[in-house]
Amino acid sequence: MNRTFHPWVESAYASGGSLGVRAVILGEAHYGNLDDAAPDFTQRIIREYGQDRRGAYFTRVQRLVRMGVNKPSLQ
């Protein structure tokens, strides 16, 4: 059975991203019951484990993307 999930999109993405750079990060996979397989499942997972609980995977991805800086230099 194929399922389509809507991606999580940062609120600042349309205006250039929170660091002034738009990025697509792939690599998160979900496992669970078919009852959980709603189109907004990815968005709920990111909100819960990436923003509310600050899960280890999401913290590592954020650190990797930011490379230890709050704002990238354009120089």
Domain boundaries, the chain: 13-66
Q: What is the pLDDT along the chain (75 residues), one digit of tens a residue?
A: 666 788 888 888 888 877 777 888 876 677 777 777 788 888 888 888 888 888 888 888 878 877 766 655 544
- Cα–Cα distances (Å) from 8 to 13, 16, 66, 74, in that order, read 10, 15, 18, 26
Phi first, then psi: give them for residue 47, nearest 5 degrees. -60, -45
pLDDT at position 75 is 46
